[in-house]
Amino acid sequence: MSAVCLERKPVLSGELNEIERKFSRMLADIELENSHKSDHEVRYETETLQAELLKSKSLDLDIEQTLQQTAQDFEDAAVDEYNKFVFESRITEADKANDLQNLERKLDRHLLLLVQQKQWDQKIWALPQGLQKDGETMLQTAERVLREKCGDDLTVQFYGNAPCGVYKYKYPKMFVSREEEGPVGAKVFFFKAQYIAGYVDHNKLKLQEFKWLGREELMSSLSQEYYRNISQFLIDEE
Amino acid sequence: MIGCLDVDVGFRCADRCLLFAEPLKKKKRIDPAILKQREERKKKRLEKQIRRLERNAKQLKPIDELEVPLELVDGKKERMREAAVITPAVEEERALLTKDWTRYKRKQHLKDMQMIDRLMFAQQKALDELRQESEELYQAAIQINPTLLPFTVRGPVKTPPIKGYDSPDGEYTDVSKKCVVNNHWTGVVNPCLQVYESNCTEEQNM
């Protein structure tokens, strides 16, 4: 059997933690101390000096100079523009609504696709998997499984021909076929893929049947052993 | 005459200049067309040199050849900052923070290495199991996939893109000329003749 470990990689860079913030501030301070003044700063200083001279002694007012935009004005205008510009917030609506089917959730974390699958008599959450057909390599099986389950709209990039992990399990005795040569268990080979674009086809998978989960939420949805196996080949997150 | 040095020098100089100089040549009338040609040639030479300079300016200099711009070298005095006063307390704090940082980074590095080892182990295990299943599938799995390279990914950003953002710099319109060949039928004189006309039309793409 082949399974697909489809991940939506982080879109946003993560927040700095405390030590990172402190260190970056310290580096900025040292940088400032060791630097020379920029053109803008030099201009600003000469203009403040001129303004003070104008106040104390009456220098000849150079009309041309006063009409030009002073460095202070330029700085104020720039700061104004920056404050007026509205950036898109890092926490999207999908985060607030906790919409598990939406890909906009948790933009700075990995999201993994889980699909509801029938295993014997119950439905469980697992990575999309399917049986290998004759004449297919495992990777082709994985691609086919993904296309069948999620439709053609989803664009993914598989990372190479080799599987990244394996999960072996034995069928419980009730379901083992009567013949002695029948399969006793199954091996599921996982193939890693990266989500690029597109959406899961809702005709193939209804809303309750799939979800995109972050790492922390995986443990609650998957069985212990399965989770342990999968976490072996998933990238860490703090 | 010899020995006339004491006499009026000015007159003598003028006299001598008149005698030693060649008779002034008459200024020939140069054809205005030739004049124009000369001017044009000079202009072209200048323009060529300008173009050559610009071309060189567009090519980036190698880093080794870059120099500090003269304005900065000359204005060094006015650009220097006053030496900042760093109290010993601040210095101590900075030293401690640097040590904390090295410790933090080391732990991070170790964790990364452990993760990579774990990933590689998991993949090796999977490949071993696959080999047990079938040699053919295993060989297919080991193949290098040439379509994967070149692989490009756009890195994470600070804020997500604004939906439907109208860029103030404007859209890019492709104004490149495209040639279209038209066939014309000259019907009246000789119905067998076909005249081919090529028309270059400008097409603007959104």
Mind spelling out the 3-state secondary structure of chain B?
CCCCCCCCHHHHHHHHHHHHCCCCCCCCCCCHHHHHHHHHHHHHHHHHHHHHHHHHHHCCCCHHHCCCCHHHHHCHHHHCCCCCCCCHHHHHHHHHHHHHHHHHHHHHHHHHHHHHHHHHHHHHHHHHHHHHHCHHHHHHHHCCCHHHCCCCCCCCECCCCCCCCCCCCCCCCEEEEEEEEEEEECCCCCCCCEEEEEEEEEEEEC
3-state secondary structure of A204: coil
- Contact between A235 and B115 using a beta-carbon 8 Å cutoff: yes
Instruction: Assess B90–A contact: CB distance below 8 Å, yes or no.
Output: no
Predicted local distance difference test score (pLDDT) of residue B102? 97
Q: What is the mean pLDDT of residues B26-36?
A: 81
User: Could you give the percent of chain B with pLDDT greater than 90?
Assistant: 27
Question: Over 50: is that where the pLDDT of A158 sits?
Answer: yes
Question: Over 80: is that where the pLDDT of A169 sits?
Answer: yes
When scoring B93, B96, B97 by the number of chain A Cβ atoms within 10 A, the one with the most, hence best to mutate, is: B97
Q: What are phi and psi of B138, to 5 degrees?
A: -60, -45
- Contact between A88 and B159 using a beta-carbon 8 Å cutoff: yes
Predicted local distance difference test score (pLDDT) of residue B80? 85
Is the ipTM above a cut-off of 0.85? no
pLDDT in tens, B142-183: 888 888 888 888 888 888 888 877 777 766 777 777 776 666
Predicted local distance difference test score (pLDDT) of residue B203? 35
Predicted local distance difference test score (pLDDT) of residue B183? 60
Instruction: Assess B80–A contact: CB distance below 8 Å, yes or no.
Output: yes
Measured between CA atoms, how close is A134 to chain B, in angstroms?
11
Is-contact A92 A104, C-beta < 8 A? yes
Q: Which chain A residues are Cβ-neighbours of B156 within 8 angstroms?
A: 10-14, 108
Predicted local distance difference test score (pLDDT) of residue B5? 52
Stretch 172-191 of chain B: residues touching chain A, C-beta under 8 Å: none
Predicted local distance difference test score (pLDDT) of residue B191? 43
Q: Which of A2-11, A196-205, B42-51 has the highest mean pLDDT?
A: B42-51
Predicted local distance difference test score (pLDDT) of residue A8? 87
In A, minimum Cα distance to B116 occurs at: A235
pLDDT in tens, A21-42: 999 999 999 999 988 888 888 8
Q: Which chain B residues are Cβ-neighbours of A19 within 8 angstroms?
A: 100-101, 104
In terms of Cα–Cα distance, which of B105, B31, B128 is closest to A165?
A: B128
Higher pLDDT, B138 or B188: B138
pLDDT in tens, B102-115: 999 999 999 999 99
Mean pLDDT over each residue of chain B, to the nearest integer:
77
pLDDT in tens, A200-224: 877 776 666 788 888 888 888 888 8
Instruction: Assess A233–B contact: CB distance below 8 Å, yes or no.
Output: yes
Predicted local distance difference test score (pLDDT) of residue B193? 44
Measured between CA atoms, how close is B54 to chain A, in angstroms?
26
Instruction: Assess B164–A contact: CB distance below 8 Å, yes or no.
Output: no
Is-contact A198 A154, C-beta < 8 A? yes
- Contact between A166 and B130 using a beta-carbon 8 Å cutoff: yes
Q: Which chain A residues are Cβ-neighbours of B111 within 8 angstroms?
A: 236
pLDDT in tens, A60-100: 666 555 666 778 888 899 999 999 988 888 888 777 777 78
pLDDT in tens, A101-147: 888 888 888 888 888 887 777 788 888 888 888 888 888 888 888 88
Is-contact A27 B109, C-beta < 8 A? no
Question: Over 90: is that where the pLDDT of A20 sits?
Answer: yes
When scoring A30, A189, A226 by the number of chain B Cβ atoms within 10 A, the one with the most, hence best to mutate, is: A189
Structural domain spans, chain A: 2-13+97-231, 18-84
pLDDT in tens, A173-191: 666 655 555 667 788 889 9
CATH for A2-13+97-231, options being 3.90.79.10, 1.10.760.10, 3.40.50.1100, 3.40.50.1820 = 3.90.79.10
Q: How confident is the model at residue B185 (pLDDT cuts 50, 70, 90)?
A: low
Is-contact B193 B168, C-beta < 8 A? no
Measure the CA–CA gap between B68 and A18, rounded to whole angstroms: 38
Predicted local distance difference test score (pLDDT) of residue A70? 79
B158 closest CB neighbour out of A13, A86, A165: A13
Type of residue at A197: A
In A, minimum Cα distance to B94 occurs at: A26
Q: How confident is the model at residue B100 (pLDDT cuts 50, 70, 90)?
A: very high
Q: What is the mean pLDDT of residues B38-63?
A: 89
Predicted local distance difference test score (pLDDT) of residue A62? 63
User: Could you give the percent of chain B with pLDDT greater than 70?
Assistant: 75
Q: How confident is the model at residue B89 (pLDDT cuts 50, 70, 90)?
A: very high
Question: Over 90: is that where the pLDDT of B93 sits?
Answer: yes
In terms of Cα–Cα distance, which of A219, A197, A149, A188 is closest to B154?
A: A197
State pTM to two decimals: 0.69
